[in-house]
């Protein structure tokens, strides 16, 4: 399923994209019409937290055909939001998790080139999250060095602690796209990365949350970032230094992962700081992050 949260008639709704890729289903309304025991909650985040609700959503997906029912809405009539517009917890992120990006970053930002021997983990505030086609604020009173980072994100589907690597994929509900927008000057100024990564609107996400059954494990997806149409990043998730099972094993060691937790897996080579001179984002720049089988996440800097 291609799950989505979206605005329609002034309300935040959720559902899934139809197979013809032209419409989305209003899941709550569809359930009322097709099931006698309607119980779906009001948000996709609440669905993810309830296994019965996830099962009901899958039942709806199997049941609905391409017809003109009033619970099927053309994509042109809705505004896609981040799949989880208001995450309950901060986004968990991996740093320097592609070999060539680790080298370009450390060359530009640190005294010596190096590749991490263990996963680098940090978080982004929930207030960073915006949806497709929404504006990334430039925050010029705070930063002058805004950078992009195309990333595959994991959404956890069930609670787990001390998860073995061989069981990691069992805990994944699905995948989405995140642009880990970063203020490089703040990142360099402060010992931790939270401030440089955590400015409001610095976490564009979407356009869909694609359930794990749509994407085979181990995940092997082309990933690309374009700025004003120019390809800046072009790689594949198979080149992650620390793969998805290792990421989940590491983060869950002594820490309980919850349904709805979002994990950004790192960005490949080609970020703005890696150019000489650096190529930071400016107001009006259009950034597109595309990941195979998920879609295109497009945002403009304002």
pLDDT at 113: 79
CA distances 204 to 28, 127, 137, 180, 263, Å, are 25, 10, 11, 7, 14
Residues 34 and 130 in one domain: no
Q: Total structural domains in the chain?
A: 2
Are 73 and 101 part of one and the same domain? Answer: no
- Asked if residue 281 belongs to a domain, the reply is yes
237 burial via Cβ count (<10 Å: 0-12, 13-18, 19+): buried
106 CB neighbour count, 10 Å cutoff: 16
The token pair that represents 192 in the structure block: 């931790």
For the chain of 302 residues, list the mean pLDDT of each consecutive stretch of 10: 97 96 97 96 97 97 83 97 97 95 88 87 98 98 98 98 98 98 96 95 98 97 98 97 98 98 98 97 98 98 98
* pTM for the predicted model, two decimal places: 0.97
Question: Residue 191: its pLDDT value, please?
Answer: 84
Residues 166, 58: one domain?
Answer: no
Burial of 256 per CB tally in 10 Å (0-12, 13-18, 19+): exposed
Measured distance CA(148)–CA(167) in Å, rounded: 32
Same domain, 231 and 254: yes
Dihedral sign, Cα of residue 135, residue 95, residue 166, residue 289: positive
For residue 30, what are the domain limits? Answer: 2-80
> Do 97 and 64 share a structural domain?
no
Q: Quote the pLDDT of residue 291.
A: 98
According to the model, what pLDDT value does residue 26 have? 98
Handedness of CA 49, 28, 24, 226 (dihedral sign): negative
Residue 234 lies in a domain: yes
Tokens of 299: 């945002």
Q: Is residue 96 part of a domain?
A: yes
Q: What is the dihedral of CA 215, 216, 222, 227, to 10 degrees?
A: 20
Render pLDDT for 69-113 as a digit per residue (tens, 0 to 9): 999 999 999 999 999 999 999 999 999 999 899 899 888 888 777
**Residue 86 falls within a domain, yes or no?**
no
The answer to whether the CB of 132 falls within 8 A of the CB of 80 is yes
Task: Look at residue 150 and tell me if it is in a domain.
Answer: yes
CB 90 within 8 A of CB 161: no
DSSP character at residue 284: T
* Same domain as 101, residue 233: yes
Report the CATH number that the domain containing residue 150 is assigned in CATH: 3.90.850.10
d(CA 118, CA 42): 39
Nearest to 194 by CA among 114, 127, 270, 97: 127
Q: What are phi and psi of 51, to 5 degrees?
A: -60, -35
Q: Could you tell me if 232 and 149 are in contact, meaning their C-beta atoms sit under 8 angstroms apart? A: no
Is there a contact between 94 and 242 (Cβ–Cβ < 8 Å)? yes
State the DSSP H helix or E strand holding residue 176, giving kind and residue range, or none if neither. Answer: strand 172-179
């Amino acid at each position: 399923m291609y799950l989505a949260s979206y605005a329609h008639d002034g309300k935040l709704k959720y559902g899934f994209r139809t197979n013809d890729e032209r419409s989305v289903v209003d899941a709550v309304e569809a359930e009322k019409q097709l099931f006698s025991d309607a119980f779906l909650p009001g948000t996709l985040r609440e669905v993810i937290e309830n296994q019965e609700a996830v099962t009901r959503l899958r039942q709806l997906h199997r049941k609905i055909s391409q017809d003109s029912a009033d619970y099927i809405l053309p994509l042109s009539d809705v505004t896609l939001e981040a799949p989880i517009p208001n995450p309950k917890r901060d986004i968990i992120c991996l740093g320097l998790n592609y070999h060539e990006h680790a080298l370009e970053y450390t060359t530009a930002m640190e005294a010596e080139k190096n590749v991490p021997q263990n996963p680098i983990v940090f978080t982004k505030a929930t207030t960073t999250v915006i949806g497709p086609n929404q504006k990334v604020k430039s925050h010029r009173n705070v930063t002058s060095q805004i950078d992009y980072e195309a990333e595959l994100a994991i959404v956890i589907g069930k609670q787990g602690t001390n998860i073995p690597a061989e069981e990691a994929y069992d805990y994944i509900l699905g995948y989405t796209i995140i642009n880990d927008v970063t203020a490089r000057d703040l990142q360099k100024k402060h010992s931790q990365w939270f401030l440089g990564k955590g400015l409001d609107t610095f976490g564009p996400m979407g356009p869909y949350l694609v359930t794990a059954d749509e994407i085979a494990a181990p995940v092997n997806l082309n990933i690309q970032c374009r700025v004003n149409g120019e390809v800046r990043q072009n790689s594949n998730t198979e080149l992650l230094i620390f793969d998805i099972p290792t990421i989940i094993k590491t983060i869950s060691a002594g820490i309980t992962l919850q349904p709805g937790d979002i994990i950004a897996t790192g960005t490949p080579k080609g970020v703005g700081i890696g150019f000489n001179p650096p190529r930071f984002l400016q107001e009006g720049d259009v950034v597109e992050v595309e990941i195979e089988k998920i879609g295109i996440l497009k945002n403009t800097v304002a």
